[in-house]
Amino acid sequence: MKSFEQSEMLARLPEQFFAKLVKKVQHAKKKGYDIINLGQGNPDLPTPEYIVHSLRSAAENPLHHKYSPFRGVPELKEAVCKFYKRDYDVDLDPEKEVAVLFGAKAGLVELSQCLLNPGDTALLPDPGYPDYMSGIVMADAKPVFMPLVEKNNYLPDYNEISQKDLKQAKLIFLNYPNNPTAATATKEFFEETVEIGEKHNICVVHDFAYGAIGFDNKKPISFLQVPGAKETGIEIYTMSKTYNMAGWRVAFAVGNPSVIEALNLIQDHMYVSLFGAVQEAAADALLGSQEPVQELLEIYERRRNIFVEGMQKIGCDIKFPKGSFFAWMPVAEGYTSEEFADMLIEKAHVATAPGNGFGEHGEGYVRIGLLTTEERIQEAVERIGKLNLY
């Protein structure tokens, strides 16, 4: 069979680090091990019933069997505005300041195509969600990493970025509550970010994927709550985590109208829009009872407590996550992240995500996804405890 050469753009793409992890887990399962998988970021609970019900009835409406409007169903964009007003007291224009996306992942990759030319610079967190890099590489732009370290509460230190990089940067990616460190942002940090964005003419992209998941009664703040944020950037919000809708592929971008226009424009050329029934159900999710969101938050907080208290008891210096459904766990002495993760699969039959897969500064940690039952999380702690690592 003839094999066609891939484009230069595809050849540039980074290796999918976590594909390797999936293979290791599959391999261990084939050996007959009962693996507790804390390595993935896939929500384990179902979408709340009222949202599924809404999709079911919307699917029967012939209106949705046609192409949906190019730039999204107006009812969803209006629901997004009501949601931002209700939850964050942020005012948005549904026509100019909201773009409907095929999941946050798609939007985050599109953004680099929208705003970067070959050779341009983009700032991104290290460790960080890998898809920021995918988009930057596709645009043939240059990544400049901002280290996220414990002593700075995993917030980038803008003073450490060279003046040259700040001058050249066109885009900055941020994400709080953070994947993988589970840190949250402060208002002061976002204010500083707005200043940096304005001074250097950098578009700020705040990925608010875990916006609903803040612990100890502290609701994570939206970037758009800070004065001037809309002038200098956008926020991306996904339905995947808040409403357990990861498989539905629906998210939205909100904020600066010129960036929203750019996202809509690229999508005009790539797609029509999402299935209208999905958009209708997403609108109902945003405006319906938010009780399931509260219940989900309580579930993640209980899981967090079981894991972190358990690990602290066996001597691990792990901190309580402030948000997201992850925990950022230091490895035991003498191991690299990857060695530690491999050893845990082999000896405790517990899968974790090695921190170095998220960037150089993730070395020394593994990411724990709290995406299984309390019993399984407790069992994972007990199995790790038996290894006397700490």
Ligand X SMILES: Cc1ncc(COP(=O)(O)O)c(C=O)c1O
Q: Which residues bind ligand X (CB under 6 A)?
A: 41, 103-105, 129, 175, 179, 207, 209, 238, 240, 246, 251
The whole-angstrom distance between residue 234's C-alpha and the CA centroid of its chain comes to: 15
Structure tokens at 237: 């919000």
Report the DSSP pairing between strands 353-354 and 169-175: unpaired
CB nearer to ligand X: give 252 or 307. 252
> Shortest gap between Cβ of 253 and ligand X (angstroms)?
11
Amino acid at 265: L
> Shortest gap between Cβ of 262 and ligand X (angstroms)?
19
CB nearer to ligand X: give 175 or 352. 175
CB 210 within 8 A of CB 239: no
CB 276 within 8 A of CB 68: yes
CB nearer to ligand X: give 73 or 371. 371
CB nearer to ligand X: give 148 or 381. 148
Residue keyed to tokens 């988009």: 135
* Alpha-helical segments (H) within the chain: 8-12, 17-30, 49-59, 74-88, 104-115, 131-138, 163-168, 187-200, 229-232, 239-242, 257-270, 276-287, 291-313, 337-343, 374-385
DSSP assignment string, 129-167? -THHHHHHHHTT-EEEEEE--GGGTT---GGGS-HHHHH
Q: 326-344 in b/e burial notation, b at 16+ Cβ within 10 A?
A: bbbbbbbeebebbebbbbb
> Shortest gap between Cβ of 385 and ligand X (angstroms)?
28
CB 280 within 8 A of CB 73: yes
> Shortest gap between Cβ of 21 and ligand X (angstroms)?
14
> Shortest gap between Cβ of 132 and ligand X (angstroms)?
9
> Shortest gap between Cβ of 87 and ligand X (angstroms)?
18
CB nearer to ligand X: give 209 or 296. 209
CB nearer to ligand X: give 128 or 276. 128
> Shortest gap between Cβ of 212 and ligand X (angstroms)?
13
CB nearer to ligand X: give 236 or 348. 236
Q: How big is the chain by its Cα radius of gyration, in Å? A: 21
DSSP assignment string, 258-291? HHHHHHHHHHHHH---S-HHHHHHHHHHHHS--H
> Shortest gap between Cβ of 193 and ligand X (angstroms)?
17
CB nearer to ligand X: give 175 or 256. 175
Number of residues written out for the chain:
390
